[in-house]
Homo-oligomer: A and B are copies of this chain.
Amino acid sequence: AQSAGTAPTLAVIGGDGIGPEVTAEALKVLRATIGADAFSTREYSLGADHWKATGEVLDDDTLAEIATADAIVLGAVGTAPGSTEVPSGLLERGLLLKLRFSLDQGVNLRPSVWYPGTPTPLSEEVTGAGPIDFVVCREGTEGLYCGNGGVVRAGTPQEIATEVSLNTAFGVERVVRDAFTRAQARRGHLTLVHKHNVLVNAGSLWRRVVDEVGADFPDVEHDYMHVDAVTIALVREPQRFDVIVTDNLFGDIITDLAGAVTGGIGLAPSANINTSGKFPSMFEPVHGSAPDIAGTGKADPTAAISSMALLLDHLGRPADADRIRSAVGTDIASRLAGPMRTTSQIGDAIAALV
């Protein structure tokens, strides 16, 4: 945690694929916004290459060191989806999820804003119905992401594989309270997303907690929507959402869709927040490592840059955060007319605007 008066230390993990490229631009914009002296960085080369070279994904000493930082800036982790170069999930679970879980980052915050004119797969009838501006508060340390489950008779016709979703009142309450607090500061509306008609155990817990915490926020209206129905609403009427609160897996799925409808996940930032302040929070784009375009200069660093606005919010510098948000908005508006730019050209342009 940050000591008063000293410049915060950022642990920087570029990761795999386009991760390091977009992270470099994010730090460029951060320097342009608050000055190079306003923070210090410690770089960690973790990811596929580090694993291939050392056989380690994230050792305990490194994790302990990262845990002393004031915040973490992460690029992206993992190899191509179909690839077998690295065992399935090794990097995602051993690095990204290990950080989220060990550092108890219970709130995964994912704002979605559509800047008019930005390319979207939605029709003008849908986007023209009003501003699209919502946030998803995704639980970050529970659910199906716990790595709980197992396999018997692996590789045989009798194989059985299980995955267990763990949900605690503690973890659910934490993200639900955070979501209500945000809704109160926004448009006063919260939607719980689940599938309680099938997942009755977990669904009942989530509903109960939302009702109970909701009683502390009489000025926030709340409703409920099944996750399958949410995918429909996100493409037909994304304006209906203000704050969405949901579990880890549903949050994963709907935030990719939310990113797509609001201009592509090249624009979608995220924060993994440790609400107790005991461990650092982590800021990363929603997108993955996209190894297919790594090194080509085609990666859009905007999501990583917007994540720096969330970092500044978190560090108690909302005015600086707004400077990044408005520079990003201006840049996005200007790029509509202009030619394609490289990763670093976009970073330079936004850095010049803050």
- Name A residues whose Cβ lies closer than 8 Å to a Cβ of B: 78, 81-82, 88-89, 92-93, 97, 120-126, 144-145, 147, 149-151, 153-170, 173, 195-205, 207-208, 223-229, 231-232, 235-236, 249, 252-257, 259-261, 265
B197 touches A169 (CB 8 A): no
B205 and A231 contact, CB distance less than 8 A:
no
Q: How far is the CB of A91 from chain B (nearest CB, A)?
A: 8
Copies in the assembly, this chain = 2
Q: How far is the CB of A195 from chain B (nearest CB, A)?
A: 7
Chain B residue with the shortest CB-CB distance to A247: B163
User: Complex formed: what's the CA distance from A255 to B227 in Å?
Assistant: 12
A155 CA to B248 CA, complexed, in Å: 21
Distance in Å from the Cβ of A167 to the closest Cβ of chain B? 5
Return A209 CB to nearest CB of chain B, in Å: 9
CB-based contact B257/A257 at 8 Å: yes
Cβ 8 A contact of A121, one of B123, B153, B168, B203 = B123
**In contact, B201 and A149 (Cβ under 8 angstroms):** yes
Q: Across the interface, do A167 and B162 meet the contact criterion of CB distance under 8 Å?
A: yes
A160 & B164 in contact (Cβ 8 Å cutoff): no
Whether A163 touches B201, Cβ cut-off 8 Å, given contacts A123-B123, A224-B81, A224-B82, is: yes
Some 14 contacts from A to B, beta carbons below 8 A apart, are A78-B197, A82-B224, A89-B197, A121-B126, A122-B235, A151-B201, A151-B204, A159-B168, A163-B164, A164-B164, A165-B165, A195-B252, A231-B231, A231-B253
C-alpha gap A198/B145 in the complex (Å): 6
* A190 → chain B closest CB, angstroms: 13
Partner of A197 from B88, B167, B235, B253 at Cβ < 8 Å: B88
Interface contact B253-A227, CB-CB below 8 Å: yes
